[in-house]
Amino acid sequence: MAAIIELEQLEVTLGRRVILSRLSATLTGKSIGLLGPNGAGKSTLINTLLGYYPPTFGTARVFGHDIRKDARALRSLIGFMPENDSFIASMSGLRYVRMMAELSGLPPAQALERAHEAFYYVGLGEQRYRPIGGYSLGMRQMAKLAQAIVHGPRLVILDEPTNGLDPAARKRMIQLVKEIRAQEGTHLLVSSHLLRDVEECCDQVLILKEGRVAAFCDLEEERRANQHVYDIELASDARSFVDALAARGCQSAWNGNGRVRAVLPEGPDQVDLFALAASHGTRIRGLERRRDSLEDLFLKAME
């Protein structure tokens, strides 16, 4: 699979402080989550990919374009939705998005046409002539999304896209992000403090800690790897049931109080577990398939 973002010993120093320390990773997912605690270097990494901070060592590539040499080409390939508002309050939403489209390389007539389309796409078609300073927080977030996608970028970087949104607006934003992800040829980099947002929208995750790569994982592979882990609650303690699981090649942990966690190899399924319990004089009262959540993966990385 072709690399979307390549980090090659990337180091960034601001003042005398090393913010990013020799990051190396190859990101190939359709939608990549960027996680880490405050101060981990997420915003610095985004700003470096956008060309705002020059690397002090190493480099990064986006679709094969080196951020040191191809900043102009990357401007048309990347759309960026910042966390903080950066509007001219008296400017209409349409004029603002058109201006951003022109800055990304579109000619004026095409920029205006695409700005209209972007506003209707995010649900603000009726509000596009209003001064952007009068928009509600949810509307400002949608306007920021509109300017990020107006020029049809191949990579859309979203920094805290659901920040401050009420439940209904968050649901709408997540739906739009999923629709963008589904478009052919479009990739996402989503930075968020909300693990739920990343888990819903992303298939790969890069976790930073203190300016270093703490973990990099494919969420789909992690889910597949955990699909045969079961938490079992028995009606009575049954050591013989646990022994029978081991005899069938199942790894298990038994707390001696009627609860067992079992890792099943390929072959046995849930029906086999019920039959096995019955044959050893007990019955299963509860059975739950367990999968590591993104929170589990994040906490492991922080350790």
Residue owning tokens 């605690």 = 37
Tokens at 300, concatenated: 């492991």
pLDDT at 250: 78
Helix (H, G, I), strand (E, B) or coil at 144: helix
CA distances from 257 to 128, 232, 254 (A): 62, 11, 8
pLDDT at 120: 96
pLDDT at 23: 95
pLDDT at 256: 66
* Inter-residue contact 262 to 232 (CB < 8 Å): yes
Confidence (pTM): 0.80
For 133-151, b/e burial (b = at least 16 CB within 10 A) is eebeebbbbbbbbbbbbbb
Domains present along the chain, CATH in parentheses: 5-223 (3.40.50.300), 227-291 (3.30.70)
pLDDT at 267: 56
* Helix H or strand E segment including 184: none
**Tens of pLDDT, residues 32-58:** 999 999 889 999 999 999 999 999 999
* Inter-residue contact 253 to 260 (CB < 8 Å): yes
Helix axes 93-103, 137-149, angle to 10 degrees: 30
pLDDT at 5: 95
The stretches in the chain having pLDDT less than 50 are none
pLDDT at 244: 82
What DSSP state is assigned to residue 139? H
* Inter-residue contact 54 to 47 (CB < 8 Å): no
